[in-house]
Amino acid sequence: MGIKFDAIVIGSGQGGNPLTYKMADSGLRVALIEEKHLGGTCINTGCTPTKTMVASAQVAHYVKDANRWGIRASDFAADLPAIVKRKNDVVLRFRSGQEEQAAKRENVTLYRGHARFTGPQTIEVNGESLESDRAFIDTGSRPLIPQIDGIASVQYLTNESILDLEQLPEHLMVLGGGYIGLEFGQMFSRFGSRVTIVHQGSEILPREDQDVASELRKALEAEGIGFLLEAKTKRVSTNGRQITLEFSGSHEPLTGTHLLIATGRKPNTDTLDLDKAGVQVDERGYIKVNGRLETSAPGIWAIGDVKGGPAFTHISYNDFQVIYSNVFEGKELTVDNRIVPYCVFTDPPLGGVGMTEKEARAKGYKLKIGTIPCTNVARAIERDETAGLLKIVVNASNDRILGASTLSADGGELVQILHTLMLADKPYTLLKGAIYIHPTMAEGFFGLLESVKDVN
């Protein structure tokens, strides 16, 4: 017989933690199992550390380009050890907060170790057997390392290990032109590294519309970042401090001092023995769930990245809200058709919500499209940050917003205005008569909404 709990949470990410605390505060005895640090990917190797370092990179950018704004600055240097220390201080502050939250709840028993299912309602950790008729899996994901000849012999970096570099790469090669690759590429370029982003597609950010992705790439190229597109890496080799990538096709080999692998994520499901609990996964290892986030096994739910779909902290937290409402409050909430806002934290940041134009076209919608360059926005001109564009995708049959992209200064903030209108199910025309503070980036919506017109 194992130790019985009212609920077991595997993984202390941004969905598992609030779920644990909420259940404990309602009087349930909860076992929280964490193999590494409390806080999951977001606090330890994701949002918190990367955005802390992105902030340092933006300051570096302003100092290095200060003449652009009429300011004289000299002796620019990125102190990478100091940047890493600042990042570590913020991470430890956030992680300690989670540890305090867990420790102050008598109903929470924290197990530090690796969990695996031994049956539908039994989980083993550190040789102890735990039992519950409710289990919640929040084990997240890890970097996916592509199967490339020679990759195992190279000391490559991932989004986790690059965070602790204290010596600036002379030439950082980034394998992958997605969100992670672009954020780190721009960050280290601003710190002073030469950066080349290698992407096997014809354009970066394959989910985004061509015009949006192209505009962001041009902004990054203007800062000196190199791009090698339609480059499928076939071999990696090393010679001393030099790493060389060889490609299929006509691209010449590329040599650099450091290699960052940013080609995707892999769910942490392969060592949980999910088959013993009857939990099914898809061909990539992600846990299959329904709209209520229930797995194929009764009494087991999945939260966050481990179930696939958008891999954002705010999705994990919303998963917690959906699960708790359904399981403990008797509400009928679902994640089906939820409207998801997100942001790529480049500079300019790319805010997004809902469908892209190409996704809406694929679904057969008759569309209205609006788009304006940031060169038309007064605030962007005043800030001398005019790279980017604003774009809105509208259902022509009822004037509801289907999606939007705000590639601009404050883009991650701007897109949430449009997200609110989508949640309210109101037509985009409601904002045409709105009053916007002058001068702000949001004032750009005047021109954006006036530009909306029918498209074929």
Contact by Cβ (8 Å): 210, 201? no
Residues 226 and 171: their CA atoms lie apart, in Å, by: 11
Residue 35: closest CA among 13, 3, 11 = 11
Query: What pLDDT tens digit does each residue of the chain (456 aa) get?
Result: 789 999 999 999 999 999 999 999 999 999 999 999 999 999 999 999 999 999 999 999 999 999 999 999 988 899 999 999 999 999 999 999 999 999 999 999 999 999 999 999 999 999 999 999 999 999 999 999 999 999 999 999 999 999 999 999 999 999 999 999 999 999 999 999 999 999 999 999 999 999 999 999 999 999 999 999 999 999 999 998 899 999 998 899 999 999 999 999 999 999 999 999 999 999 999 999 999 999 999 999 999 999 998 889 999 999 999 999 999 998 889 999 999 999 999 999 999 999 999 999 999 999 999 999 999 999 999 999 999 999 999 999 999 999 999 999 999 999 999 999 999 999 999 999 899 999 999 999 999 999 999 997
Q: Give Cα separations from 269 to 16, 136, 160, 239, 370 (angstroms).
A: 16, 13, 19, 36, 42
Helix (H), strand (E) at residue 152: none
Residues 27 and 8: their CA atoms lie apart, in Å, by: 14
CATH of region 3-142+266-328, choose from 3.10.129.10, 3.50.50.60, 3.40.350.10, 3.30.70.1290: 3.50.50.60
Domain with CATH 3.50.50.60 in the chain: 3-142+266-328, 151-263
Q: What is the DSSP string of 284-315?
A: TSPBP--TT-B-SSTTEEE-GGGG-S---HHH
Q: Which residue has the tokens 């058709």?
A: 337
412 strand-pairing partners:
none
Architecture of the domain whose range is 341-454: 2-Layer Sandwich (3.30)
Phi, psi of 118 (to 5 degrees): -115, -5
Maximum pairwise Cα distance, the chain: 73
Report whether the peptide linkage leading into residue 267 is cis, meaning its omega lies within 30 degrees of zero.
no
Helices (H), 208-312: 210-222
Domain with CATH 3.30.390.30 in the chain: 341-454
Annotated catalytic residues are 438
Global pTM value: 0.95
Residue 122: closest CA among 310, 257, 273, 245 = 273
User: Is CATH 3.50.50.60 the classification given to domain 151-263?
Assistant: yes
